Amino acid sequence: MQPRGPLMIEHRLIMRMISLIDKEATRIENSNVVNQLFIDTAVDFIRFYADRTHHGKEEEILFRDLARKKLSKDDNRIMSELIQEHIVGRNTTAQLVKAADSYQKGDETALPQITKYLRQFVDFYPKHIEKEDEVFFPSSMSYFSETEQQSMLSEFREFDRKMIHERYKSVIETIERLSQGK
């Protein structure tokens, strides 16, 4: 298996969440009621799985290793675009959290902002994933030998193994801050 395999498998799970986000945005638009549990769950999924775990492997392993190669002008441009798109995703998540917090505190005017950011995810992720799956990943694999690809796959597995510890350390730190009133 090439390193793009696990990344593309992760894309399928991300797209399942995007489908749920699309349905929830429609439900909110029709009911004018936000399901805060759904928003919290979606934000957690996007932050931890899509961004930290998935984009983490891309940025901290694949893109790092590609930066050591002599990329074509097009591949270098696309990699830069993908990095910027990851930043856009993070910013959209932060804005969704801010809007959801305002709504939860009673600000009804935040409701359209919530659906706006949910819709931005629905618009963003399919295009981003298609660019990676159909254009960038196939091209990027040509820069690596079979040995380099197998080494990258091993590093992906180690990265994933550490994620569970990072995740729950973060959960505990958050609970500790909340229990101290911070």
Amino acid identity of residue 132, one-letter, is E
Token pair 């729950």 is at which residue? 168
Q: Which CATH class is domain 4-179?
A: mainly alpha
The pLDDT assigned to 43 comes to: 95
Average pLDDT over residues 60-89: 97
pLDDT-derived band at 173, boundaries 50, 70, 90:
confident
Q: Are 8 and 133 in contact (CB under 8 A)?
A: yes
Q: Map out the domains of the chain as residue ranges.
A: 4-179
Number of other residues whose CB lies within 10 A of the CB of residue 102: 16
pLDDT band at residue 168, thresholds of 50, 70 and 90?
Answer: confident
pLDDT in tens, 18-47: 999 999 999 999 999 999 999 999 999 999
Secondary structure of residue 180 in the 3-state scheme: coil
9: left (phi over 0), alpha (psi -120 to 50) or beta: alpha
The percentage of the chain sitting over the pLDDT mark of 90, rounded to a whole number, equals 87
pLDDT at position 181, please? Answer: 74
Ramachandran quadrant class, 106 (left: phi over 0; alpha: psi -120 to 50; beta: rest):
left
Model confidence pLDDT, tens digit, residues 99-133: 999 999 999 999 999 999 999 999 999 999 999 99
Q: Report how far residue 103's alpha carbon sits from residue 110's, in angstroms, rounded to the nearest whole number.
A: 5
Rounded to whole angstroms, how far apart are CA atoms 66 and 44? Answer: 29
